[in-house]
């Protein structure tokens, strides 16, 4: 009798270990972000104005059809995950998602137009703020707990990797726009403090939900994206936006440094590629680019064209442009950014970024 009970317990443990490890024994990742990491969520939000569902988005990814990424190829999160041997997590709103898919691949909650603050990006009508993404992740933890039990579920989420990649929309699509209340309720210093107070609360909730190994991506020189240049009177980078990005990066780094020792088993890392992207924009030829101030996908002289459409004209060589559209880097630029972040995060022994597969959940078809 005792032998049978012991054998039954052993089988339960082995089954749980097998489920947690998945078919390849690798950890999974959970991504929280905006359009720089979105891989299909906004395409399934019926009312949002921020979608990447038309050509020529995705032209250099898999079958070349739009897949929800706001670029021609891979996102930075795609490339870092590939380089570190992690599976690409599908979008939370992908209809193929279930418990088994989550256990094998993780989840991407990123949403174009989303920000750290709930009020950010309201003119897109529909988007998932970081608070909303965390709420959805909470639902995910409850789903997996029902399947595995609390102990095995806790182990699964504590071994997973977490990416937080938001912040630029809180400036570009909130604070720096006079129509938003935050633009007159705060000054540059107090607004960054407000963001950090909010981000700290969000990180504490994520830790409570099981996040232990977490990376926060810093901001690049957002004053130099094509949209900011074309809206300036000189066509040059907007210095105030760039200074705000640097202030955000410094404050976020300090926040993680102060939080990590206070939280059980926390490994919170901050990394930004500001300096290298700034150098690419100033010296594009040094990095193999020929254009660092205009979008590859545009309507020619009709600017700003806020999205890439079938009516747009593409540049002759997409690998030579830093920016894909008015807001977002190209696949080539994302690869350069990812390599810099890999160095900043201290990853060792990583391989070269892999080319884009046909889909995020092999061997299923692409998201759309």
Q: Is 328 a catalytic residue?
A: yes
Catalytic residue among 325, 331, 359, 360: 325
- Residue 242 and residue 190 in contact, taking contact as beta carbons nearer than 8 Å: no
Catalytic residue check, 138: no
Task: Tell me the C-alpha to C-alpha distance, in Å, between residue 257 and each of 146, 252, 294.
Answer: 34, 9, 37
Residue 207 falls in the annotated catalytic set: no
Cα dist from 98 to 30, 32, 42, 284, 353, whole Å: 15, 19, 19, 43, 27
Q: What's the distance, Cα to Cα, between the start and end of the chain in Å?
A: 54
> Residue 164 and residue 248: Cα distance in Å, rounded?
14
Q: How does DSSP assign 31-93, residue by residue?
A: EEESTTT-SSSGGG-TT-S----STTTTTTSTTSS--S-SSSS--HHHHHHHHTTPPPPPBTT
Q: Looking at 129, 298, 328, 330, which residue is catalytic?
A: 328
Strands (E), the chain: 29-33, 106-108, 161-165, 213-217, 267-271, 291-295, 297-298, 313-314, 321-323
At 42, list the tokens: 């906004």
CA distance 260 to 203: 10
Catalytic residue among 35, 153, 168, 366: 35
Q: How far lies 42's CA from each of 14, 52, 79, 95, 114, in Å?
A: 38, 8, 20, 13, 10
Angle (CA) 205-211-217 rounded to 5° is 90
Q: How far apart are CA 222 and CA 238, in angstroms?
A: 8
Question: Which DSSP helix (H) or strand (E) runs through 337?
Answer: helix 331-345
Catalytic sites, residue numbers:
35, 325, 328
């Amino acid at each position: 009798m005792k032998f049978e009970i012991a054998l039954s317990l052993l089988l339960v443990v082995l089954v749980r270990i097998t489920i947690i490890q998945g078919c390849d024994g690798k950890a999974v990742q959970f991504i929280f972000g905006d359009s720089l990491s979105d891989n299909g969520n906004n395409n399934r939000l019926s009312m949002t104005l921020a979608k990447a569902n038309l050509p020529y988005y995705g032209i250099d990814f898999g079958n070349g059809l739009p897949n929800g990424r706001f670029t021609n190829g891979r996102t930075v999160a795609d490339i870092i995950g590939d380089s570190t041997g992690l599976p690409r997590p599908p979008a939370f709103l992908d209809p193929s998602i279930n418990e088994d898919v989550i256990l094998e691949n993780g989840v991407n909650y990123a949403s174009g137009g989303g920000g750290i603050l709930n009020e950010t990006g309201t003119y897109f009508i529909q988007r998932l703020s970081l608070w909303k993404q965390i709420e959805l992740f909470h639902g995910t933890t409850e789903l997996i707990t029902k399947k595995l039990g609390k102990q095995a579920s806790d182990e699964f989420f504590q071994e997973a990797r977490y990416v937080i990649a938001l912040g630029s929309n809180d400036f570009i699509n909130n604070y720096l726009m006079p129509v938003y209340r935050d633009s007159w309720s705060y000054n540059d210093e107090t607004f960054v403090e407000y963001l950090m107070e909010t981000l700290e609360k969000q990180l504490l909730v994520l830790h409570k939900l099981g996040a232990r190994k977490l990376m926060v991506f810093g901001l690049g020189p957002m004053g130099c994206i094509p949209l900011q240049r074309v809206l300036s009177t000189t066509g040059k980078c907007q210095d105030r936006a760039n200074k705000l990005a640097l202030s955000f990066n410094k404050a976020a780094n300090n926040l993680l440094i102060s939080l990590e020792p206070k939280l059980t088993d926390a490994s919170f890392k901050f990394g930004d590629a500001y300096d290298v992207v700034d150098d690419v924009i100033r010296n594009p030829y040094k990095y193999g680019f020929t254009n660092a101030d205009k979008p590859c996908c545009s309507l020619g002289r009709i600017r700003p064209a806020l999205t890439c459409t079938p009516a747009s004209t593409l540049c002759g060589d997409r690998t030579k442009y830093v920016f894909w559209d008015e807001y977002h880097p190209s696949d080539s630029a994302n690869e350069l950014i990812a390599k810099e972040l890999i160095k900043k995060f201290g990853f060792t022994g990583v391989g070269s970024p892999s080319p884009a597969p046909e889909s995020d959940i092999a061997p299923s078809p692409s998201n759309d």
